[in-house]
Amino acid sequence: MNACLPNRQRGAALLLGSLFLTAVLSVIALTTMRSASVSVTDSGQLSEAAAALYLAESAIERAAARLAQGIACTDLPEAALPFGAGTLRILSATDTGTTCDIRVAGTVLLSGQVRARRILEASLRLPARGLAFAVGNRINRRGHIVRYDGSRWVAVPDAINGSPDEHLEGLDCVAADDCWAVGRRTRCRRPSGGRRSCGTIVHWDGSNWRFLDSTTVNGTRGEDLFDVDCVAADDCWTVGKDGSIAHWDGTRWTSLGYDPARGRDLHGLDCVATDDCWAVGERQWGHPTILHWNGSQWRILLPWIENRVWNRHLNEVHCIATDDCWAVGDRLTDNRPATIAHWNGSYWEDASDLGIPNNSRDGNHYSVYCVTANDCWAVGRQEDGIPTITHYDGSRWQGLPAGATDLPGVRLFDVACAASDDCWLVGDNTGRVRGTRYDRAVIAHFDGVRWSLLWPPDNASKDTDLNALAILDGGSGGGGGSVAVIDWQEMVF
């Protein structure tokens, strides 16, 4: 009996071992099954979460693209847009002046049920906004200059360093750090002795407006200057009183060695190319003065042949192409339309009766600007003080329909556009309040539908006027610039 006991003990031990192994294997199996189940489930959730994050990032990209297209930051929010297996949405947007701060959402849906949602907040750098300047008569013995920074007009304090008694009449910009303004000084020393008004030229270098200090204004004859236009940074022209013409070559201003228009004031100037510029001015011998630069010399156009405009003064000229230019000026006689003339590549012709409406009669045109060959503006004033605004659509000039402007009692001296739906006017508004006469700068904007009047940008623009305007690429709408994502983060609730 005693001999069989060890065998029975080994059998019991084997049984217990088998049971333990079975239990361990069962636990391992259950653990494996559990792990496999959890892995599959988590993988699905991670996939949906990643898809939601991708949709939210796509919403940021959409917001940046719309900003670059010129959509205002505050107009970015919109309804959810279907995209793939879910939706993306721009929830909110705030314009801080330098950034557009947005909140976006990406949502993954399955049978209409939300499976995953991610909300991101991002800061987008706003696109470069348009830069514009307007210049006018002096304030506090300094030239008057206001600047548009893409959102508002502000007066440039103590505008021109070292330049007393400035009246600025013409303006043009080559780049954001390269603008020229010309005009006259009320008192200066003349080469012949004595003090009287003389021409002046000032330059914007991106930080300051600086006066070019010279008794002859760096090579000009010293006469008042009325307009300036640049083809490039080293190729600018200016014209003025008594036929004054001077050129900037990138180093200095130099007067012509001859006087093609001596005795006739030149008021307007525009260059199509380095060898194709026009200058226009006052009437003499029955015709307005019209000069052309061909790259080597300025030449007066022959009356009746190249110059078929009769007995008019011309104040401004603007060209779309070498064979498509418009010039505007004063009316011929009472009850006649303000002057409009056209260059067709062969000669200048009087187009004043080309559909000019009655509301431009008994007045003068001071400026013209063309966005395209079938989109031009001419502005000025009537004798009764009502402003003249006419538009060319490619076939005829016509007045604005009722409700397209709210500019009563102003004189309009210049017009310029960044686009068909982004144009500006400058001028002045005069009148009397309680017996005291006032003269205030005026700025107006066209949004593609209506001209809206902006009163002086600040108190510094009172008791003066604005004579000229220049707009750099980019306009006021903010479109066309680059947009960058500065930073973004996920919101955890």
pLDDT band at 129 (very low <50, low <70, confident <90, very high): low
CA–CA distance, 208 with 285 (Å, rounded to integer): 43
Residue 321, Cβ neighbours under 10 Å: how many?
Answer: 13
- Identity of the residue numbered 166: E
Query: Which CATH number describes the domain made up of 132-471?
Result: 2.130.10.10
| pLDDT tens digits for range 357-408 | 545 555 789 999 999 999 999 998 876 667 888 899 999 888 877 667 767 6
∠ CA 237-239-244, nearest 5°, is: 120
CA–CA distance, 82 with 107 (Å, rounded to integer): 9
∠ CA 135-139-140, nearest 5°, is: 145
Collapsing DSSP to helix, strand or coil, 145 comes out as strand
User: CATH assignment of 15-127+482-490, given 3.30.1300.30, 3.30.530.50, 3.40.605.10, 2.30.110.10?
Assistant: 3.30.1300.30
Give Cα 361 to chain centroid, integer Å: 32
pLDDT averaged over the chain? 79
| pLDDT tens digits for range 277-323 | 999 999 887 889 999 999 999 999 999 999 999 878 899 999 999 99
| pLDDT tens digits for range 60-112 | 999 988 887 667 788 899 999 998 889 999 999 998 766 889 999 999 998 88
CA–CA distance, 339 with 280 (Å, rounded to integer): 13
Quick check: 27 pLDDT over 70? no
Q: Are 338 and 330 in contact (CB under 8 A)?
A: yes
> Whose CA is closest to 157, among 461, 463, 364?
461
Structure tokens at 119: 């909300």
- Identity of the residue numbered 238: T
Give Cα 395 to chain centroid, integer Å: 27
| pLDDT tens digits for range 370-382 | 999 999 999 988 7
Count CA atoms closer than 13 A to 412's CA, side-chain side.
35
What is residue 158's DSSP assignment?
A: T
Residue 379, Cβ neighbours under 10 Å: how many?
Answer: 31
Quick check: 17 pLDDT over 60? no
Query: Residue 266, class by beta-carbon neighbours within 10 Å (0-12 exposed, 13-18 middle, 19+ buried)?
Result: buried
- Which DSSP helix (H) or strand (E) runs through 422? strand 422-433
Q: Where are the domains of the chain?
A: 15-127+482-490, 132-471
CA–CA distance, 200 with 456 (Å, rounded to integer): 25
Whose structure tokens read 């015709």?
Answer: 287
Residue 368, Cβ neighbours under 10 Å: how many?
Answer: 28
Calculate the dihedral angle through the C-alpha atoms of 248, 254, 259, 262, rounding to the nearest 10 degrees.
80
Give Cα 190 to chain centroid, integer Å: 39
* Residue 229: per-residue pLDDT: 97
Whose structure tokens read 């300036």?
Answer: 228
